[in-house]
Structure 1
Amino acid sequence: MTSNYKKIFTGDSLKAKLLVARLHEIGIEAVVKDEAESARLAGFASSMLGQVDVYVHKDEEEKALTVIY
C-alpha cells in the first residue's frame, strides 16, 4: 500500500503542535498521528506517551521541511 503522505517529524506533542501551527500559516495542512492518545481512547495503555508523528502530503514535503530547518 502506498501513501501520499510523508513523515516529517517525530517528537513531543508540544513541539508537534507548534510545527503544525507554523505549517498552517504557510498553507500546509498536516496530519498528526498520536499513538498514545489513540490507545487511551480505545482503553489501552501505551509506552509512547507524548511522542507523535507529523505527516504532510508528499507534494508539500519540500516546502514543509523549510519550516523545520
Structure 2
Amino acid sequence: MSNYIKVFTGDIIIAQRIVADLEKEDIIPVIKDQTDSGLTPLFGSSNSILKQIFVHKDELDKAVLVVENITSELQS
C-alpha cells in the first residue's frame, strides 16, 4: 500500500458519503475497517468500527478537496 495515502478515518456514514463523492470524481478509494480496540463488542453499536479511506498518491490533491468539502459541510 506504499502508493496509497490515508485521507480519512471516521464514522461509517461519513465514510460512505466520501467514497460516493470520490467515485463521482473517478477516484477509486481503498476502504479499510479499523476498530477502536482489538475486541469487537458483543453488544453495542457499530460506532466502535471506524473506516479508513486511502487513495492513490497520484489522486491525493483531488481527493483531499473532496474530503475537505464534505467535512466542512458537516461542521456547519
Which bracket does the TM-score occupy, shorter chain normalised?
A: 0.7 to 0.9
The equivalent residue for 1:41 is none
Whether the 8 Å CA contact 2:30–2:53 is kept in 1: the answer is yes
Aligned-residue CA RMSD (Å): 2.1
Q: 1:35 to 1:68 in 2, by over 3 A?
A: closer
The alpha-carbon deviation at position 25 of structure 1 amounts to 0.2
Unpaired segments ≥5 residues, structure 1: 37-43
- Number of the residue aligned with 1:67: 66
Percent identity, aligned pairs only, is 39
| 1:57 equivalent in structure 2 | 56
TM-score by length of 2: 0.70
Q: CA deviation at 1:68?
A: 1.5
Secondary structure class of the residue paired with 1:46: coil
